[in-house]
Structure 1
Amino acid sequence: MSTSNDDGTPPRPGFPPAAGAPSERGDERTGEGAGATRPVGEPETTRSVGEPGPVRPAGEHEPTRPVGGSEPSRPVSDAETTAGVEPPERPAWGAPPPPPPGGGDAGGSGGCGGWAGWGTPGEPLPDQPGDPGKKKVAGGLVAGALAAALVAGGIGGGIGYWAANDQNSDGSTPISAPENNQKIENPPGSVAAIANKALQSVVTIEARGSGGSGGTGTGFVYDRQGHILTNNHVVASAAQGGQLTATFSNGKTYDAKVVGRAQGYDVAVIKLEKAGDVKLTPLRLGDSDKVDVGDQTIAIGAPFGLSGTVTTGIISAKNRPVASSDETGSKNSYMNALQTDASINPGNSGGPLLDSAGNVIGVNSAIQTGGGGENPFGGQQGGSVGLGFAIPINQAKYVAGELIKTGEPVYAVIGVSVDNSYQGSGAKVSDEGADAVTPGGPADEAGVKPGDVITKIDDTVIDSGPTLIGQLWTHKPGEKVKLTWKSDGKTKTATVTLDARKGDS
C-alpha cells in the first residue's frame, strides 16, 4: 500500500515511522510518531497522493495506503426500519449467471464444469429437419418458420412470422425476446436490491482548501438531521476555511460544514446546509462485533471520482491493526480494521461497507496496493489488490456521537509514551523523558515503568506500538482492561481503568 511517508528513511521491520515525524518515539496519548498509510479518499486531481509511505497491518512490512433539527441526532440501528424502508431478511445471494453459449456439459470438452445446472434452463431448440444445403430456398424458409413456431409455443406466432420474413442472407435465424417481456425483478437481499436502496443515502464529497487543494471522497447519511459520516482525511483539506459539497445519486448538490473531526480515529461528521428539500434516509447501522470472516460485503463509493460505484467481496480478516496518516503526513490514525477483498480505491474513503442484509458494518478507510504503477486517471497511484480496510461501525458510531455532541473526540489511554524504534515484539514504553509514564495514570498505578514492554491487552497480543494504540482505541474511557507487560525479565499483569484524553492536540 502506498503511503504518505516517503521521506527516504528506511522503515524498521514491522512498522515504519510516519512522515513528518523525525522522532522515533510514539505517544499513545497524542497518536503521533507511528507509521502511517495514505488516505484513499480522493482521486487527487489537484494534489499528488501517490507517494509511498508506511502502513502496517499486524506485523507486516509492506507499505499501505488509506482509501471518505431540534431533535437529537440518532442513527438507525439494525433493529429499526427507516421511513419507507423495510429491513430485508438476511438473504442468499442472487443466482449465478447462466453458462456461456455452447458450454453445458459437466466438465466435458468445451464445457464449463457444472454451469449447466445454474439458473433456469431454457427449452432446447428442435432439430432442424434435413440438410438446409440440399433444400430449395422455399423449403428452407418453411422449415425455419416451423422450427421458430415450435420454439415460440406459448408465446405466439410473431416469432415464426419474423423468422420466415426476416431471415439473414447467411441462413442464420436468431430469436429475439418478445417485445412484451417484463424486467426481471431483483429479489430482496440481492446485491442489486441492496445497492439500489443504499445508493440514495450515499454522497460524493468534494473538499477544497482555501488554496484550492483537495479531492474527492465518499460519505453516507447518518441521521435525519442531515449529518453525514465520513473519514477525517476526506474533509481535512477543507476544515480550515475551505469548501465542502455533498452530491447525492440524483445529482443534487448541497454545501456542507464540518461538525467535528477525530484525526486519531480517522472519522469526521459533516452536516448538509439548506437541504430542506431532500428526504434523508439514513443507512441502518449493523453490529461489527458480530461480523464473521467469510461474511459477504458490499462497498459503495466514488473510486477515482466515479460516483455510485458498487463492488462486492467478503470479510477477509478481523481486528487487523492499521495505521494511516492525513494528507499532510504529520498526524497518524489507528484502527483495528475489518479487512475485505471488495474492490476499494482512492475516492472510496468514507463510504459504507455493507453486509448481506444492507446494514453498515464499516467505514471504508484504507487500502494496500501493489505500489507505484501508473493509473489510467493520471498520476502515480496504485489501485485495489483486494486488501481494503474499514473502521468497524461500532467504533465509528461511538466517535460520531461524541463529535455531534461536543465537536471533539475522546480517546481511551493508559498514560504511556511508546518507543517506536524498538525492534522486538511488543510495545516498549519509552525509557527516557519525564512523560514516558504519566504520573498517577493507569499504567503508573499498575506499576509499569519506563523501558517495560507491553505484550497484551486482555487476550489480544500486542506486537508493536501502533497495535497497542489501535487496540486501546477500540475501548471507551472508564472501561477496564487486563494489561500484561514484561519488566526486568518478569511477566506482570494488572487490571487498569482506562483514562480519557479529549481532542487531537
Structure 2
Amino acid sequence: MAMKSKLVWSILIIVTLGVGLMAGYSWLIAADNTKINVLEEEAVITAYERALPSVVNIIITEKVTNGIGVNTNRDAGGGTGFFMSNNGYIITNKHVVTRTDVNYLVVTSDGKEYAGSVLARDPLYDIAIMKVEGGGFTPAKLGDSDKVRIGQTVLAIGNVLGEFRNTVTRGIISGVGRSLTASGGGLTETIEGAIQTDASINPGNSGGPLINLKNEVIGVNTAINRSGEALGFAIPINKVRQAFNIFLKHGQIIRTFLGVRYIMLNRAVAQKYQLSYDKGAYILVKDDNGEPGVVAGQPADLAGLKGGDIILEINGKKLSITYTLAGAISEFAPKDKVKLKILRGGVEMIKEVTLGQRTVEDGVAFTSNDGG
C-alpha cells in the first residue's frame, strides 16, 4: 500500500513539474514573440522616419478660365517622388508628369514648396526625372533590387489620393519578375521585372519609394491591379538607377530599340498561342490592336525577323521570364550589333541586328505576359 502511495505521489509530482515546465515554456515563447514584434515595430518606424526627408509630394495644377473670364489654377492630380541627389534631382513615374501644359509643385516632407520641372521621361519604363532649384536636399538611400527576397517586409510611402501626404503602408514582397500592362496619365505601359507587394498602393502613391527595413529604396511604386486585393507593383530600383545614370551622361534617357511587339513565353502563353516551345520572346504576328509584330523599317525588320519567330538568345544568353527581351536589349547601346538566336518553323537560326534608338514617341514596342 505504501509503495502504491509513493507511486501516485511520484506521478503527481512529475505531472505537476511537466505542467509547470510547459507553462514556463509557453510564457518564454510569448515573451520572445512580444520582443520580436516590438523590434520589428521599431524597425518599421525607424525606416519610415529615416526615409521621409527624401520623399516629396507632387501637386499638379492647370490654368482654367471661369465663367466671368478670370484665370484661376485648378487641381489636376498629383503623385509622389523622391530625391536622387542633394541638388534637387527627383525620381517619379512618367505617368504622373506626362502633361506638358500644367504646373508641377514639389512639396518636401517639412512643407517647403518648390517649382518642379520635368527634365526627362523614360521611353521604355514608367520613369521620369524632375528637378527643383536649390541644394541641401536629402537623397534617398538606394538598395539592390536584385537581392530582394519574397517574404521580406517593405513599406510604401506616398501622397495617397493627392491629399493624405507622407502616408506609409506596410506589407511584404509577394513576388518578383512580374510582367504587367499598366495604364495611367493617358499612357499604357508594359512593366517587366516588376516587384509585387501587398503593401497598399493607392492613387497618389505613384512615383513614391518602396523601401525595406534598412531604409533602402528597392523599387518605385507604379501600379495597382484593381481586379484583386493587395496587388501592388513597383519598378526595381536597379532599372531606375540605370536610367538616372544614362540621363546624367547624355542629358536624356536613351534606350535601345529593336522594333518588335512580343510576349515572353511560359507554359500558359505557349498553350494560348498553340506553340510547342515555352521559353523565349514570341514575336506577335499582330497585337490586340491589329498592329504588326515587327515594326516596318526598324532594326528587327531590317534584319529579317518575322511575326511568329521566337527569340531564344541574345549574344548567347538565353531569354526567360526573369531575363526578358526588353531587359536584355537595355544592356546595349544604340548602334550596337547583337546576334539573336531565333526559332522559326522548328528551325534555329542566327540573325545579326544593329540596334536603334528609342524615343518616347515610338510608343510601346512590346506587350506583357498573359499568364503571369
Q: Does residue 207 in structure 1 map to residue 66 in structure 2?
A: no
Q: Distance in 2 between matches of 1:338 and 1:269?
A: 21
Partner residue of 2:93 out of 231, 238, 246: 231
Which residue of structure 1 lines up, in the alignment, with residue 348 of structure 2?
Answer: 492
SS of the residue aligned with 2:48? helix
Match of 1:196 among 27, 42, 49: 49
- Whether 2:165 is the aligned partner of 1:307: answer yes
Amino acid of the structure 1 residue aligned with 2:147: K
Larger Rg: 1
CA deviations over 1:36-81 (Å, ceiling 9, x no partner): xxxxxxxxxxxxxxxxxxxxxxxxxxxxxxxxxxxxxxxxxxxxxx
Alignment-derived partner of residue 243 in structure 2: 399
Distance 1:303 1:480, change over 3 A: farther
Are residues 1:475 and 2:325 paired?
A: no
Count of residues paired in the alignment: 311
CA distance in structure 2 between the aligned counterparts of 1:193 and 1:332, rounded to whole angstroms: 34
Measured after TM superposition, the shift of residue 439 of structure 1 is 6.0
- Greater mean alpha carbon deviation, residues 427-436 or residues 402-411: 427-436
Residue of 103, 118, 136 corresponding to 1:243 = 103
Contact 1:412 1:476 in 2 (8 A): yes
The alignment status of 1:414 with 2:273, answered yes or no, reads no
TM-score (norm 2): 0.70
Cα shift readout 1:164-199 (whole Å, capped 9, x = no counterpart): xxxxxxxxxxxxxxxxxxxx9x89981111111111
2:231 is matched by which residue type in structure 1? Answer: L
User: Relative contact order: is structure 1 or structure 2 higher (C-alpha 8 Å, sep ≥ 6)?
Assistant: 1
* Structure in which a larger fraction of residues adopt helix: 2
Q: Give the 3-state SS of the residue equivalent to 2:239 in structure 1.
A: helix
Cα 1:498–1:196, aligned 2, differ >3 Å: closer, same or farther?
farther
1:498–1:242 CA distance, 2 compared to 1 (3 A): same
Letter of the structure 2 residue corresponding to residue 289 of structure 1: D
Match for residue 195 of structure 2 among 326, 331, 338 = 338
What residue in structure 1 maps to residue 17 of structure 2? none
Cα drift, residue 311 of structure 1:
1.9
The answer to whether 1:253 aligns with 2:148 is no
Residue 47 of structure 2 is aligned to residue 118 of structure 1? no
Shift of 1:351: 0.7
Q: CA deviation at 1:223?
A: 0.4
Deviation, 1:348, is: 0.9
**Structure 1 residues 417, 200: CA separation in 2 closer, same or farther (over 3 Å shift)?**
closer
Describe the SS at the equivalent of 2:98: helix
Question: What CA distance in whole angstroms lies between the structure 1 residues aligned with 2:169 and 2:338?
Answer: 37
Task: Give 2:3's aligned residue.
Answer: none
Give the structure with the larger strand fraction.
Answer: 2
| Superposition TM-score, scaled by structure 1 size | 0.53
- Contact map agreement 1:317 1:340 (CA 8 A) in 2: yes
Q: Where does the alignment leave 5 or more consecutive residues of structure 1 unmatched?
A: 1-104, 121-183, 372-384
Gaps of 5+ in 2: 1-19, 65-73, 265-269, 276-280, 362-372
Q: Which amino acid aligns with 1:415?
A: G
Please list the CA deviations of residues 205-247 of structure 1 after superposition, one character each: whole Å capped at 9, or x if unmatched.
Answer: 112245546212110011011111110111123xx23111111
| Residue of structure 1 aligned with 2:320, choices 461, 465, 468 | 461
Question: Cα RMSD over matched residues?
Answer: 3.9
In 1, the alpha carbon distance for the partners of 2:92 and 2:53 equals 16
CA distance in 1, matches of 2:77, 2:313: 39
> Any residues of structure 2 matched to 1:63-82 within 5 Å, and which?
none
Residues 148-167 of structure 1 aligned to structure 2 (within 5 Å)? none
**CA spacing shift, 1:485–1:208, aligned 2, 3 Å:** farther
Could you tell me whether the CA contact under 8 Å between 2:59 and 2:104 is conserved in 1? yes
